Amino acid sequence: MGITNVEIVCRVCNMSNFDIAWRIEIAKRLLLVPKNTLTDAAEGAGYASDSAFARVFKKETGMTPAGFRKSTIAAHSDV
């Protein structure tokens, strides 16, 4: 009994989700460095365009990359 097409699709989807999550974590770390631009974060996370990066980042985190940066900086400045 071999692997079905459904199993292959499910495995690819899981890998895709992992890849996106990994890229977003890389981008978050890059956004915490003040000298990095949003383009630097997008490129560092493997996105060819800022708009694609911003769209995926917002879908995954619920905020824009700039919004993430501002909220994180604000949270750290209150400490």
pLDDT at 60: 92
Q: Which pLDDT score is estimated for 6?
A: 52
Neighbours of 24 (CB within 10 A): 19
Q: Which residues of the chain have pLDDT under 70?
A: 1-15, 78-79
- Residue 37 confidence (pLDDT): 96
pLDDT at 26: 95
Q: Which amino acid, one-letter code, is at 79?
A: V
Q: Which two tokens stand for residue 78?
A: 């209150």
For each of the domains in the chain, give its residue range(s) and CATH number, in order of start: 5-77 (1.10.10.60)
- H/E run at residue 16: helix 5-31
- Tell me how far apart the alpha carbons of residues 51 and 37 are, in angstroms, rounded to a whole number: 14
pLDDT of residue 58: 97
CA separation (Å) from 78 to 29, 30, 34, 64?
A: 19, 21, 17, 21
pLDDT at site 11: 63
Quote the pLDDT of residue 12. 58
pLDDT of residue 74: 78
